[in-house]
Structure 1
Amino acid sequence: MKRFENKVALVTGGRSGIGRAIARRLRDEGAQVFTAQRGNDSEFDAIPVDFLDPASPAQVVSQLIAKVGQLDVLVNNAGMMQEARVEDMSAADWHQTLTVNLTAPFLMIQAALPHLRETRGNIVNTGSIEGLGSNPGHAAYCASKAGLHGLTRAVAVDHGGEGIRCNAVAPGWIDTDLNVDFIDAMPDPGAFRRDIGKIHPVARTGTPEEVAALVAFLAAEESGFITGQIYSVDGGRMAKLSLP
């Protein structure tokens, strides 16, 4: 029997990148998968949504329940990044990043909890190593991901007694289409790949499928004694000290 047979999973931002890999992994292991993001999804049942609208998370969950009647796994993966230092970022841009990356997952969890309580379901949030450290010019993104890590722990503490677990993955440099395009636009993509490989003890960047494998494990029953944890998926990058 597959780990997610007869289970329903909802993956926000599941149309591309890490979200797409997560949706495929859960589907391949038996789940009925829905994705939620702007626009249609040619591969999965999709619920179009704009996460800047605070009413949209509850609408997404209600539409899913109306279609299939249950929810077993919620993966909050949708996110955005705007590059700016604190003094250069407008309040509007700050609120936009926090709304998509932190408030939307909060509202998704809030709407999903009654249904996850019925199925003793699981939540996995996509955080970031930038919730643990920071790259330059990522003030709002770092704040939002650190907040999501804190929310993960709070949900685990408040709802563990109801059979609901909540964990997060914190990816590092992952070869999504966006990152691959970024590298390919460099004057010397090969040199950039070699240089970025050097900051990782495993000497390479990661794949969306490697993140998806951890998400599937955390959402599965075999990890039933794991909750409130933030797992870095970064090839050892955060463990490696810079040279003096």
Structure 2
Amino acid sequence: MSDRELQGRRIIVTGGASGMGEGLVRALPRRGASIISLDLNEDGGERIAQESGAAFIKVDVTDKASVTNAVDQAVARLGGLDVLIHAAGIAPGAKAEDISLEQWHQAMAVNATGTFLTNQAVFPHLKDRGGAILNFASAAGVKGYPNKAAYAAAKGAVVAWTRSIAVEWGCHNIRVNGIAPAIWTPMYDKTRASMTPEELEAHDAALKAAIPLGGKLGDIARDFVPVVAFFASEGAHFITGQIIPVDGGTLMMR
């Protein structure tokens, strides 16, 4: 594909102040897209957007009024909308028996309700001319995630929601897919830094066994951005309702 395959595409990216969302905000303008980044972190979001040739709007993805207002502002600035990339999410951890009700509600609110609200908010802007929604799913939502059961449950909801609206909204030429990434991020660096040498050795051995391609998490720029760019482009116009693992072969979907 051309490195300008997103020329003229108007895209909203949520979670644009960190991690994979930040990587997309930085990379997609270079591929021709006009980007509005949405995040709760105003300082980081503004800085990254300015550095990348994008714009930023603060949003709380768990709050309907905040989401509707931010999306409407973004669409007005962009002069329309072609794609929503919903990357915002959190992954709190705890043993299943120790998960507090507060942590459960938080995981559901950000990951599942945030997907629901952002997708609903862009629907009026896409229904007359079509477009694309890319939600962030997870292998956790397909096969579970021990010690992060609330996160896994929320991502399971994202998977089911994504497939459901792909059917419902297909008549409007809106395609809806989910990305299930296993990508190296700064947050993952912090996780690694918190491990003892023994834990890190065991962790790396497990990754080597679980990831056929390379034995470690993928790189944002090399492995992740090109896939998302394709699914945000017109080249993917006949693909919907899919969960696309970008993970070196860890999750082989059926």
Distance 2:65 2:95 in 1: 30
Q: Which residue of 115, 124, 148 corresponds with 1:114? A: 124
TM-score by length of structure 1 reads: 0.90
Distance 1:58 1:199, change over 3 A: same
> What is the distance in 1 between the residues matched to 2:247 and 2:203?
15
Paired letter, 1:80: I
Partner of 2:190: 181
Partner of residue 199, structure 1: 210
CA-CA distance at 1:66 after TM superposition: 2.9
What residue in structure 2 maps to residue 100 of structure 1?
110
Match of 2:133 among 93, 115, 123: 123
Contact 1:84 1:138 in 2 (8 A): yes
Identity %: 36
Name segments (4+ residues, structure 1) moved above 4 Å: none
Give the aligned partner of residue 225 of structure 1.
238
The two structures have a TM-score, normalised by structure 2, of 0.87
Q: Give, in angstroms, the shift of residue 9 of structure 1.
A: 0.6
Instruction: Sort the Cα spacing of 1:137 and 1:191 in 2 relative to 1 into closer, same or farther, 3 A.
Output: closer
- Cross-structure match for 1:242: none
Aligned residue identity for 1:213: P
DSSP 3-state at the match of 2:127: helix
Change (3 A) 1:164 1:175: same
Question: Match for 1:224: what amino acid?
Answer: H
CA shift, 1:193, in A, is 6.3
Residue 118 and residue 24 in structure 1: after superposition, are their counterparts in 2 closer, same or farther (change >3 A)? farther
Task: From 47, 51, 66, give the equivalent of 1:56.
Answer: 66
**Taking structure 1 as reference, are residues 194 and 83 closer, same or farther at Cα in structure 2, changes over 3 Å only?**
closer
Match of 2:157 among 132, 147, 165: 147
Q: Separation in 2 of the partners of 1:68 and 1:101?
A: 25
Deviation at 1:192, TM superposition (A): 5.1
Deviation sequence 1:213-244 (CA, Å, 0-9, x none): 211111111111100000112212235xxxxx
| Whole-Å separation in 1 of the counterparts to 2:165 and 2:62 | 22
**Aligned match of 2:34:** 32
Aligned to 1:84: 94
Report if the CA contact (8 A) 1:4-1:26 is conserved. yes
Which residue pairs with 1:43 in the alignment? 48
The AA in structure 2 aligned to 1:199 is A
> Which amino acid in structure 1 is aligned with residue 125 of structure 2?
H
Aligned length: 238
Gaps of at least 5 residues in structure 1 are 240-244
Structure 1 residue 10: Cα displacement: 0.5
1:132 aligns with 2:160: no
Superposed CA RMSD: 1.8
